[in-house]
Structure 1
C-alpha cells in the first residue's frame, strides 16, 4: 500500500515531534517529514507531501509569506496553516494567502487527526467539514444568521454583535450556535474559514 507523506514545518522541535507522533500513530501508512524553517523545507529532497502543516510564526520568512514558495515547489500539495492564533482575522489572512485549511494548535489530538484525515480523504473538500462550495451544497442560513456571520468574521464578540444588531447577547449566542451547526463546524474560527471558502461573506 502506498505511503502518504505530510510535511510539518514548525520551529518548535518539541511540538513537531509531538504532532509527528500523533499523525504517524493515528493515520495508517503515514510518513511525516519535519522542517524547522521554510528554507529547510524547500531544500528537502525525496519529499512529495500530500499536505503541508505550516506554522505561521517562523523565524526568517513567515509561514504566510512562504505559502507561495511552497506551492511553486509542490503545486498539487495542500497547505494547511497551523497556529495558536486562531482569531477570525488570522483565519481570513491564511485563506487569502492560499491556505486550504486552518487548524488551531489548541485543538485536541483527536480533532486534529479528524481534520487531517478529512483533507487527505477528499482532495476536493473546501473545508475540513467536507462542505462543497457549489450552490447545491451551500448551507442555508437565515438572513439574521448571515448578518451575525458577517460580523463574526470581522472579529466582533457576541456582545459587540448584539450592539450592532440591537439584539441581546443571549440571542446572538443562539444565532451563533445555530449557524455553527448549519455550517457543520465547531468553532468561530472554523466558521470564518468555511464562510470565506463558500463565498458567504466578502
Structure 2
C-alpha cells in the first residue's frame, strides 16, 4: 500500500508518517509539502492524507485529486474541529476528517474505514463517498445539532464534556473532577442524549461549537490544567540521563518541552520542576528567542519535545493552549521577580 501524507515539514509530519506505517502489513509512506506535491495520474497513492490546518491549500489538493482520480480515498487531519471547515472538506469529497487530538488507534481505524469506503463514526466527522453524499451528510449533522438541547446540561455535565472533548479518558476526568468513573459514564450518557449524538467523537464535534464548553476549557487553562493528550501529536519523546543539560542559558530557543518523568533543575533561579511541567516557553516569546536560564536533568528524564514552529502554530490555533501558556509565563516571571537576589 502506498500512502501520501501532505504536511509542512517538522515533528508532526515525521510522527504521523511513522504512525501510518502501522496502517497495514506493508505500507510505504511518502511525505510531501503542499508546494512540492505531485499528483500526476502515474504517481497517485492508494490513500491521500492531508494536514488540513491550511484549509485553502488542502482544499486545492482535494480538488486536484478529484479531477485526476475521483475514487482516491482522502482523509484530512485537523487541529480545530468546526462545522464550516468540516462541511467544506466533506463537500469537496473528503472521506473523513480526524481531529489531531484523537489517539493513534482512532486515527488508524478511521483511515481503514476511509480506505474501505465505509461511513466512519470514529473520527470527529466523516462521510463516505459511497454512502451518503458529503453535502447531505453535512446537512444531516447540522440538523441533528440544531435539535440538540445543550441548555439542559448541568454545570458538572458541561465540565465532563469539556474534558472529554479534549481527549481525556474517563479515568482522568474522574480524577480531575473528584468523582467516580461510573459517574463520568452516567454524565456522558446524559450528554449524548441532550446533544442528540451517539458517540464521544460526535459529542466533541458539537462541543467545539458550544460557548459553555469553551468557557469551561478556558477556565481550566487559567487554573493551570491542560490536556496533554491533544498535544502529543505535536510532540516527540526524548530521554536524558541524570546530569545532562536540556538547554543552556542564552542558547537559541528551538523547542518546547513537557516533563513526563524525572526532575529538571533551572540552574540560575534555583528551581526544580517535575512531571507535568512545561519548559522552555519563555524563550519562545523573548525578543531574541533566547533561553533565559540553563535546564539540567537532576535524574534520568523522559520528556516530550515540540519544535518552536509547532509550539507557536499550536499557540495561534488553540485558544486554550495559548491561555495556559500566558498564565504559565506570567506566574513564572512573577515568581522570578519576587525571588531574593544574591
Q: Say yes or no: TM over 0.5.
A: yes
Matching residue of 2:79: 84
Do structure 1's residue 32 and structure 2's residue 29 form an aligned pair? yes
Do structure 1's residue 169 and structure 2's residue 184 form an aligned pair? no
Question: Which sections of structure 1, spanning at least 5 residues, go unmatched?
Answer: 139-144, 163-167, 193-202
Q: TM-score, normalised by structure 2?
A: 0.40
Question: Which residue of 115, 120, 124 maps to 1:127?
Answer: 120
Report the secondary structure of 1:89's partner residue.
helix
Q: Report 1:139-178 matches (<5 A).
A: 149-150=145-146, 158=150, 162=151, 168-170=152-154, 176-178=191-193
Question: Which residue of 48, 55, 58 maps to 1:52?
Answer: 48
Q: How many residues align?
A: 163
Matching residue of 1:67: 62
Q: TM-score, normalised by structure 1?
A: 0.63
Deviation, structure 1 residue 22: 0.9
CA distance in structure 2 between the partners assigned to 1:151 and 1:65 by the alignment: 33
- CA distances 1:163-200 after superposition (whole Å, capped 9, x unpaired): xxxxx22499756514432xx563346679xxxxxxxx
Moved over 4 A (4+): 43-46, 128-132, 145-148, 171-176, 189-192
Aligned residues of 2:48 and 2:73 also touching (Cα < 8 A) = yes
Quick one: structure 1 residues 43 and 67, their matched pair in 2 at CA, closer, same or farther if it must change by over 3 Å? closer
Matching residue of 2:91: 96
CA distance in structure 1 between the partners assigned to 2:143 and 2:39 by the alignment: 46
Aligned residues of 1:55 and 1:81 also touching (Cα < 8 A) = yes
Deviation, structure 1 residue 112: 0.5
Quick one: structure 1 residues 146 and 88, their matched pair in 2 at CA, closer, same or farther if it must change by over 3 Å? closer
Question: Which residue of 10, 13, 19 maps to 1:13?
Answer: 10
Deviation, structure 1 residue 20: 1.2
Aligned residues of 1:88 and 1:188 also touching (Cα < 8 A) = no
Kindly indicate whether structure 1 or structure 2 has the higher relative contact order, using CA contacts under 8 Å at least 6 residues apart.
Answer: 1
Matching residue of 1:199: none
Quick one: structure 1 residues 7 and 97, their matched pair in 2 at CA, closer, same or farther if it must change by over 3 Å? same
RMSD, aligned CA: 3.8
Greater C-alpha Rg: 2
